[in-house]
Amino acid sequence: MKASMAKKSGHGMVIPGRKIERNNLLLKLKDGKYLLLMVLPAFIYYILFKYIPMWGVLISFQRYSPFKGFYGSPWVGLQHYQIFFKSPFWWRCVRNTLLLSLYSILWSFPAPIIFALVLNEVKNLRFKKLVQTVSYMPHFLSTVVVVGLFYMFLSPNTGPVQKVIVAMGGEKSDLFAQARYFRTIYISSGIWQSTGWGAIIYLAALSNIDPTLYESATIDGASKFQQLKYITIPSIIPTIVIMLLLRLSHVLGVGFEKAFLLQNDANHETSDVLETFVYRTGISGGNYSYGTAIGLLTSVVNLCFLFIFNGISRKISETSLW
Amino acid sequence: MVTSKKITVWDVLRTVFLLLIIVSILYPFLYMISVSLSSNHHVVKNDITFYPKGLQFDVYKIVLRDDRILLAYKNTIIYTVAGTALSLFLTTIAGYALSKKNRLPFYNVINSMMIATMFFSGGMIPSYLTVVNVLGLYDNIWAVIVPSCIGTSNVIIMRTFFSQFPAEIEESGRIDGLNDVGVLWYLVLPTSTAILATMGLFYAVGQWNAFFTPLIYLKSQNKFPLQIILRQIVMRSQMEDNAILYSAGGNIIPEDSVKYATIFVATAPIIAVYPWLQKYFVKGVMIGSLKG
C-alpha cells in the first residue's frame, strides 16, 4: 500500500508542477470547505470594516465630496498635508499628543509594575486577593463613568476634592476648565482606572520565577533589596519590554474617548490632540479628506515608531514583538 | 528564623500603601451612593463625607422614571445582547477555523490579513465613511453593532484555546461521520463553556461601555445608548439643560444627587456581574498573553 502511494506521488513528479498544486488545492478545498465557510463571515468583516477603509486613505490626496464619491472626486496631491503643516493646529496637536504619551509612559506605565512588585511581597493570601479584586474593578467602568466621577469630584461648588483644597488653605476653582490641569487629570484618571488591571501580566511573570532562586540567594546572605535587584527585576524585564513596545506602538494615539470627554472650550490649548482634531474637522466639520490626511500621518508615524523601537529592542535586549 | 517573622517597617508601609489604594478606589463609590441617598438639605449644605445623611430614595424615583434614561437603558440592553451574540458567534467559528492551521485553505493569507489590522488601520474618517457612505448605515442601530463586532485579539485567544483541544477526539468524531461544524458543535463547544463565558463577558462589557461608535453613527435621541445620555446628564447639563429642574413630592432635588444617582444606575449592572467578570477576565488575559 505504502509502496503504491509512493509510486503514485513519484509518478506525479513527472506531471508539470502546476497540475499537482491544483489537485492539492482541490483536495484541500474539499477537505476544508466547512472550515472555510466558518471563517468566511470574519473574512468579509475584515474586508468591509478594515480593508475598504485602508483603501479609503487615498481620499486624503483628493478633494473628497460624498456627492461625487470616491471615483468622482478630484485629486489634489499633497494639498491637505501642506495646509495642515501651515496651520497653527499641527504643532499644538502634535505637542499635546506627544506630551500626553510621554507623561503616560513616565507615570502610568511604571505604576502597575510597582504595584505588582509591592503586591507580590504580600504573604497573606486573603489580603492579596482583596487588593486584587478591588484594584481590577475600575477597569470595567466606561470612560464616560470615570470622567463623570472625576468631573463630579472636582466640581467647583460641591466636589469633595475642593473641600480638601480649601482645608489645605487653597481656593476653590474649576479645575476642569483650566488648560494647565488637563494633563494631570488625564494621567491621574488613567492611573486610577488601569493600574490594578495592568498589574495582572506582571504578577503572572513574577509568579513564574523559580522560588529556589530566592532560597539560594537567602542562604548566600543576599538582602531583600539585592534579591529585588538581581532576581526579581531581571526576571520581569522581558515582560516590561514587550509591554513598553506595545505602548510605543501608539505614541501618536492617546485614545479618543478620554481626551474628547475631558475636553471643553476652556482647555483646548492642552486638550486638543490629533484624534480630537481629526474628529472635529473630519466628522463634525465634514472636511473628510483633511481629517483622513491627519489620520494617515498618525498611523504611518505610529507604525514607524513600532518598527524602530522593535528593532532597537531586538538588538539590545533580544526581546521583540516579532 | 526569628528575625524573619518580626513585623518590619516595610511590612507596615506596604500594608498602608495597599490600604490607601483600596480606599482611593472604593471611596468614590461610597461617596456617590451616599450623596444620592441623602436628603436635599444635606446635599445642598455639602456636608456628606462617608455615609448618607437624612436617608431618602426620592432621587431614584426621578432617575428610574426619566423617559430618557429608561429608553437609553433599553437601547443599551438591546445593543449589548444583540452585539454580544453576534460577536461571540463570529469569533467562535472564525477562531475554530483558524485553529486548524493545516487544514484551513488559504490559512496564511487569512491569518496575516487579520494580524495586519492590529498594526495599521485606515483611521477614523475612512472607517466612518465606509459605514455611512458605502454601507449606508448612518443612524441605523446596526452601525453600533456590526463595525466593531470582531476583536482581533479575541479571535487570537479563541484560536489559541481551540488549538489545544485533543486532535484525536476531533479525528474520531470525523470518522464517525461528523463534518467540522458538527465536531465544533457536538464535541468542542460543550467543553469550552468557560472560554465562551469569558469572550461573552469581554464583548458584553465593551458594548455596554461603548461611547465612540454611537457618538459618531447615531443621530436620533431615541436610539442613544446609556453612555451618551449619561454624558449629557452628568457633564453637559450645566451648560445646556439649564432649564431642567428636578422635583419629587414638592421638593426640588439638587442636580448633584441626580447626577450621582444616574452614574450609579448606569454602573450598577457592571458592579453586579463584577465577581464573574474578574474571575473570567483574568483567565482570558492569561490565555491571550500566552501566544500573543
Domain CATH code at residue A168 = 1.10.3720.10
Please tell me the distance from the alpha carbon of residue B174 to that of residue A312, in angstroms, as a whole number. 48
| Domain identity same for A173 and A107 | yes
Task: Kindly report which listed range (A18-27, B190-199, B204-213) carries the lowest average pLDDT score.
Answer: A18-27
Nearest-CB residue to B105 (from A29, A57, A261): A29
Nearest-CB residue to A31 (from B32, B103, B289): B103
| Domain identity same for A28 and A84 | no
The mean pLDDT value of chain B amounts to: 86
Size of interface A-B (CB pairs under 8 A): 244
| Residue A52 forms part of a structural domain | no
Nearest-CB residue to A35 (from B100, B208, B286): B100
Q: Give residue A141's pLDDT.
A: 94
| Domain identity same for A120 and A269 | yes
| Domain identity same for A19 and A127 | no
pLDDT band at residue B236 using 50, 70 and 90 as cut-offs: low
| Domain identity same for A20 and A167 | no
Q: Give residue B63's pLDDT.
A: 85
Residue B248's beta-bridge partner residues? B251
What are the 10-residue block averages of pLDDT along chain A, 322 residues in total?
A: 44 57 82 93 96 94 89 91 92 93 94 95 91 92 94 85 86 85 94 93 90 89 88 91 86 88 89 93 92 93 89 82 75
> What does DSSP assign to residue B56?
-
Question: A226 vs chain B: nearest CA distance in angstroms?
Answer: 15
Number of domains composing chain A: 2
pLDDT band at residue B226 using 50, 70 and 90 as cut-offs: very high
| Domain identity same for A214 and A306 | yes
| Nearest one of A44, A43, A36 to B179, comparing CA atoms | A36
A95 touches chain B (CB under 8 A): no
Nearest-CB residue to B259 (from A56, A138, A152): A152
| Domain identity same for A106 and A36 | no
Domain of residue A35: give its range.
Answer: 1-40
| Rounded percentage of chain B residues whose pLDDT exceeds 70 | 90
**CA nearest A131 in B: which residue?**
B22
Cβ-contact A160, A153 below 8 angstroms: yes
| Residue A49 forms part of a structural domain | no
User: B130 and A46: CB-CB below 8 Å?
Assistant: no
**Among all chains, which residue has been given the C-alpha cell 485553529?**
B99
Question: A14 vs chain B: nearest CA distance in angstroms?
Answer: 25
Backbone angles phi, psi at A22, to 5 degrees: -65, -40
pTM: 0.88
Q: Give residue A11's pLDDT.
A: 46
| Domain identity same for A14 and A93 | no
pLDDT in tens, B113-161: 999 998 888 899 999 999 999 999 999 999 999 999 999 989 998 998 8
pLDDT in tens, B9-35: 888 999 999 999 999 999 999 999 998
pLDDT in tens, B32-65: 999 888 887 777 777 778 888 878 888 888 888 8
Q: Give residue B249's pLDDT.
A: 56
| Residue A228 forms part of a structural domain | yes
Question: B263 vs chain A: nearest CA distance in angstroms?
Answer: 6
Q: Give residue B59's pLDDT.
A: 84
Please tell me the distance from the alpha carbon of residue A194 to that of residue B196, in angstroms, as a whole number. 25
Cα angle A80-A84-A87, degrees, rounded to a multiple of 5: 135
Question: Which residue segments constitute the domains of chain B, with CATH numbers given?
Answer: 1-56 (no CATH), 57-290 (1.10.3720.10)
**CA nearest B279 in A: which residue?**
A133
pLDDT band at residue B195 using 50, 70 and 90 as cut-offs: confident
| Residue A67 forms part of a structural domain | no
User: Strand B251-253 relative to strand B246-248: parallel, antiparallel, unpaired?
Assistant: antiparallel
| Residue A18 forms part of a structural domain | yes
Q: Which chain A residues in 216-235 lie under 8 Å from chain B, judged by CB atoms?
A: 224
Q: Give residue B142's pLDDT.
A: 95
| Residue A157 forms part of a structural domain | yes
Backbone angles phi, psi at B248, to 5 degrees: -150, 130
Residue B111 has pLDDT above 90, yes or no: yes
| Residue A242 forms part of a structural domain | yes
| Residue A214 forms part of a structural domain | yes
Nearest-CB residue to A52 (from B18, B98, B130): B130
Residue of B12, B25, B80, B125 to mutate when probing chain A, most A C-beta within 10 A: B125
Question: B249 vs chain A: nearest CA distance in angstroms?
Answer: 24
Residue of A31, A33, A38 to mutate when probing chain B, most B C-beta within 10 A: A38
Cα angle A252-A254-A258, degrees, rounded to a multiple of 5: 155
| Domain identity same for A260 and A113 | yes
| Domain identity same for A155 and A8 | no
Nearest-CB residue to B122 (from A25, A54, A160): A54
Chain A residue numbers with beta carbons less than 8 Å from the beta carbon of B104 are 32, 35-36, 39
| Domain identity same for A155 and A22 | no
| Domain identity same for A189 and A292 | yes
